[in-house]
Amino acid sequence: MLLQEISKELRSFLPEGAVLFEEPMRLHTTFRIGGPADVYVQVASEEELARVLAVCHAAGGSPYIIGKGSNLLVADGGVRGVVVEIGRAMSDICVEGSRIHAKAGAALSAIARAALAASLDGFAFAAGIPGSLGGAAVMNAGAYGGEMKDVVETVRLLMPDGSICEKTPAELHFRYRATDIPEIGAIVTGACICLTPGKAEEIREKMEELRLRRQEKQPLDLPSAGSTFKRPEGDFAGRLIEASGLRGHRVGGAMVSEKHCGFVVNMGDATAADVCAVICDVRERVFADSGILLEPEVRFIGDFEKEEPCHFPGK
């Protein structure tokens, strides 16, 4: 089935404006980098998502699923095929006692605000992570000593056969920045978060403390995908990069942040090729100096064959 036919079928059941063509992916990533997607689809429900997947699979392809684009680097040439966004249109949040039921497109910051309003403690660590619940569940996102596995009770999944099921973090083997969700071919549509009753003022103070720490230590004023590399066992990526003399290392518009070496930032006109070059320089230099091969935490989407000067594990 040609893309024109796929697009026509998608538009037959999705609302006007939900299917876009040649959509610049730089508008949908926190890196502000990326060429156009052939077809860009925004879904508002599990039913819509399931139908979109069915159309794509019938055509012999699988769409790319994204959320807020906070952990993505999209190729300069863009993305061939269909990109599906689970975003604002699928971001409902409901508080029931000490549990928060949220859909996959809900921003972590919005869930944190809902927890604060309900005086529920345990989610402050995620307030400053610029991602959505779906992506955070897939990669077991975390910060400042907290991880999604600590607070997620169940994850709601759309399975490859079109069925919906719920699984626990233990069943999905939540671990450092990884889960089994990609391996089983499932898509997160929501989750139940279980928190602890607390005092609103103490929760607010904790959130503010972490906000100030982020502001002080991270390059929040420049586009990035957050931490570029996973933390190597027994060490920190930022420390290793700085020890290799790469603070401020730059290729084109991409640079190792001078504020925090664990971040590669877009200085304003970076291309995906620039970012790839910086990542490869960092990996090669750190490996030469320490014997540690840093693994990117960023997810790569699109054709990087011409832009990628070295292999990225897990791509």
Same domain, 108 and 210: yes
Please determine, for residue 311, whether its predicted confidence score (pLDDT) is greater than 90. Answer: no
Of the candidates 40, 74, 89, which is a domain's last residue? 89
Span 33-56, average pLDDT = 96
Q: Looking at residue 5, what is its pLDDT?
A: 87
- CATH, residue 233: 3.90.78.10
Identify the CA nearest to 249 among candidates 234, 263, 229, 235: 263
Same domain, 107 and 200: yes
Nearest to 275 by CA among 314, 235, 310: 310
Segment among 134-138, 148-152, 268-272, 309-313 with least mean pLDDT: 309-313
> In percent, how much of the chain has pLDDT > 70?
96
Q: Which domain holds residue 172?
A: 91-216
Please check the confidence at residue 10 and state whether its pLDDT lies above 70.
yes
Q: Is the pLDDT of residue 256 over 60?
A: yes
How many domains, in total, are found in the chain?
A: 3
Determine if residue 173 is left, alpha or beta; phi over 0 gives left, psi from -120 to 50 gives alpha, anything else beta: left
Active site residues: 177, 227, 297
Model pLDDT, residue 61: 85
How many whole angstroms separate alpha carbon 180 and alpha carbon 293? 23
Report whether pLDDT(315) > 50.
no
Instruction: Provide the mean pLDDT of the chain.
Output: 94
Last residue of a domain, one of 56, 89, 122: 89
Question: What is the total residue count of the chain?
Answer: 315
pLDDT tens digit sequence for 140-174: 999 999 999 999 999 999 999 999 999 999 999 99
Mean pLDDT across the stretch 74-98? 96
- Token pair for residue 9? 């079928």
Same domain (yes/no): 97, 211? yes
Same domain, 18 and 76: yes
Q: In terms of pLDDT, which residue wins out, 308 or 294?
A: 294
Exposure string for 266-291, b = 16+ CB within 10 A, e = fewer: beeebbbbbbbbbbbbbbebbeeeee
- Domain boundary among the residues 57, 89, 121 is at 89
- Which CATH number do you get for residue 95? 3.30.465.10
Q: Distance between CA 122 and CA 145 in Å, rounded?
A: 11
Paired residues of 193 in beta bridges: 100, 152
User: Do residues 98 and 58 both lie within one domain?
Assistant: no
Q: How far apart are CA 164 and CA 139, in angstroms?
A: 20
**Looking at residue 60, what is its pLDDT?**
85
Tell me the residue type at 266: N
d(CA 254, CA 230): 19
DSSP 113: H
Q: Please report the pLDDT score of residue 303 as a whole number.
A: 84
In the chain, count H helices and then E strands: 8, 18
pLDDT at 306 over 70: no
Residue 221's pLDDT is 95
**How would residue 1 be classed by pLDDT, with cut points 50, 70 and 90?**
low
* pLDDT value, residue 304: 80
> Is residue 257 left, alpha or beta, with left meaning phi > 0 and alpha meaning psi from -120 to 50?
beta
Q: What's the confidence (pLDDT) of residue 181?
A: 98
Question: For residue range 105-127, what is the model confidence (pLDDT) as tens digits?
Answer: 999 999 999 999 999 999 999 99
Q: State yes or no: pLDDT of 314 exceeds 80.
A: no
Task: Provide the pLDDT for residue 149.
Answer: 97
96 and 207 both lie in a single domain:
yes
Nearest CA to 282 out of 304, 249, 252 is that of: 249
261 band by pLDDT with thresholds 50, 70 and 90? very high
More confident: 305 or 5: 5
